[in-house]
Amino acid sequence: MIAETTPPNKKILAVYIALAVSLLLGFVPHMAFSCAALFGMVGTMVLAYVFRAEDKDTAEEADGLVAHHMTWIIRTVWIVVLFAHVTIVAGALYMIPRIDNAPMDSCVQAIAAGLTPDNPDYKAANALVQPCLPGFIETNWRVFMISLLISGGPLVLYVLYRWGKGISAAWKGARLAKLKSWF
């Protein structure tokens, strides 16, 4: 935990670094890292809210430097969450009509013939699907990658922009000019 005697700049920079680490962990393709990214992001948000509340209670002015930057971080995360809904829908709208399901046909027919809704055997279904997955992925690889770029690309660019702008100001001990702006 960051001590109360920590200078404001170091406290602010620590939260920006925690945000960056959480975001970077989210790109590691392993469940443990994804969980660590989620917990890190939640922890970063909790720290930002706590530090903002503490600074508003102790600052001489209405909005101290720490509260100012914590508001920027909180807004960044919430704007990205909102923006993610839009980009994920856009990525799905691109992907869904372009997916070629032909490589899965034989596996799906085998599953339909062998499993009933009242007695699902998920391990058996998984075993029946596995032979078709490599062909399905290979056939649709380009569609998946373009959809990923549509869904994630704008989010990554936006977070990098906001994070860079915020940490740059924090490094100088300065405030951001337009705290409430989306950019």
**In this predicted structure, what is the pLDDT of residue 137?**
96
Q: pTM value?
A: 0.81
Q: Which residues of 154-165 are buried (b: 16+ CB within 10 A; e: fewer)?
A: bbeebbeebbee
Cβ-based neighbours of 154, under 8 Å, separated by 6 or more? 83, 87
Q: Are 6 and 31 in contact (CB under 8 A)?
A: no
Q: Which residues of 115-150 are buried (b: 16+ CB within 10 A; e: fewer)?
A: eeeeeeeeeebeebeeebeeebeeebeebeeebeeb
Adjacent-strand bridge partners of 119: 116
Cβ-based neighbours of 92, under 8 Å, separated by 6 or more? 147, 151
Q: Are 48 and 73 in contact (CB under 8 A)?
A: yes
The pLDDT tens digits of the residues spanning 18-66 come to 999 999 999 999 999 999 999 999 999 999 999 999 887 775 666 789 9
The pLDDT tens digits of the residues spanning 111-166 come to 777 766 666 777 877 888 899 999 999 999 999 999 999 999 999 999 999 999 99
Q: Cα-flanking dihedrals φ and ψ of residue 113, to 5°?
A: -75, -30
